Amino acid sequence: MDRPRPGVSGPGRPAPGRARLPETPAVLEMRHAVRDWLARYRPEGAVAVALSGGADSLALTAAAVAEAAAVDAVVVDHGLQDGSAEVAAAAAGVARELGCRSARVSRVRVQGPGGLEAAARRARYRALDEARAGLPVLVGHTLDDQAETVLLGLARGSGQRSIQGMAEFDDPWGRPLLAVRRAVTWEMCRDLGLEPHVDPHNSASEFARVRLRTEVLPLLEEVLGGGVAAALARTAAHLREDGIVLDEIADRLLSEACDGSTLSVEILATAQPAIRRRVIRSWLLAGGAKALTDKHLRAVEALVTDWHGQGGVAVGGGKPGIRLVARREHGRLTLAFAR
């Protein structure tokens, strides 16, 4: 049986250049979402689009071609399935038919720690970053993806930052579809005669996000009477707005507490916990810390608020045989490499 492949069917195939799209409800919703994003973040500018060949990215590409000054499509071939090169080439072909200025396929090797999902994501974003030529990259994350992200963040229990979801623009990554349901992208593909590729990994139950999508969210919708995905996305938006304000306050305190590469314990001790932990997080990241967890932050905070002569706290970001360690010394927090 042939693998489903992206394609444009029927006599209405768009001519090269700006796409001429039918004014169906799904197409209009998608175009408005992309148009609003461009007006806020990229007025009159070209963009790149991350195109997988799935419904979300196909619909996004078509809408972007209709709304942006120019669109360069980047297709990442992870090489994880038989026929992936053909799927990637087909997606690039559709991008050209829709009117993209260019369409490039980047093949990557998926390897490294953290499981298949994490390794594939790192490889994908690295390839997109290398191929974007200085342009912002639009990705097809929808409201449904945002809801799944919030639930995953709740499970981690790492505080507000982990449940505020994805931003509309986290330079260079743009997400115009965070208020659009996944069903709308599929409807737009049907309206345009596009046949999305269905990635088998998107139905593989060994992945936590897949089970959230296929089991947990439908159950929550049933038990709570609907509207759960939209409510989770709204919650993320509210928390992100609050987080921006708290981060601004923390930045001012960081400037006050910082003396070179160290922080004043006295100044941090008088701050509210939510602000203090933000200051510590920013300071650790600036000093080279990686993959910070809530446990890291609270252990470093204890050097300020629960000091009883304890030793330093190792935070991620060291090298083989060398740790990056935060310590309290003479009333200041210091950060240095130690064996």
Q: Which residues sit in the known binding site? A: 52-57
Buried b (16+ CB within 10 A) or exposed e, 21-39: beeeebbebbbebbbebbe
Instruction: Tell me the β-bridge partners of 105.
Output: 75
Strands 137-138 and 47-50: parallel
- Cis preceding linkage at 172, omega within 30: yes
Query: Where are the alpha helices (H) located in 99-227, listed in sequence order?
Result: 115-131, 143-156, 182-192, 208-211, 217-224
DSSP 216: I
Binding residues for ATP: 52-57
> Nearest Cα to 56, choosing from 130, 121, 146, 118?
146
**How distant is the alpha carbon of residue 283 from its chain centre?**
23
